[in-house]
Amino acid sequence: MDWPHDPDGEQGSEGMRKYGQAIIAKKVNEGEDFPLSTAEFVDEHGEEPVRLNHERVVSVAEVFENVDREEFADFPAFHTAVGDAMREHGFWDYDSETENPDRQRA
């Protein structure tokens, strides 16, 4: 796929290679963008790349196909829903139960 910018370039990773949900979270401004419409967010960012790991890049729209909420009141609600959708639909490589079994999830 031809991306509007390089997923590893300055615009895609802010000067360093960042992955998954961190890339999506950087697309919102916690103080200005809420309440946030899912449709408007996808219209604005849907074609942008999200690097999931060292091999796989998907679009923001692909991730949001699995987000069921139409609107988010605040950043914690947005972050939780996106993270849950990513975990449930194969967009998340890290498994806290197998990679860090002693840590409790908040």
CA gap 57, 27 in Å, rounded? 16
Cβ–Cβ under 8 Å, residues 36 and 79: no
CA gap 27, 36 in Å, rounded? 12
pLDDT, tens digit (0-9, with 9 covering 90-100), for 36-70: 999 999 999 999 998 888 788 899 999 999 999 99
Task: Kindly report the pTM of this predicted structure.
Answer: 0.76
Examine the pLDDT at 101 and tell me if it is beyond 60: no
pLDDT band at 1 (very low <50, low <70, confident <90, very high): low
Strands (E), the chain: 36-37, 49-51, 57-59, 71-72
What kind and span of H or E run contains 84? helix 75-88
CA gap 51, 43 in Å, rounded? 19
Examine the pLDDT at 97 and tell me if it is beyond 70: no
Q: What is the mean pLDDT of residues 27-36?
A: 92
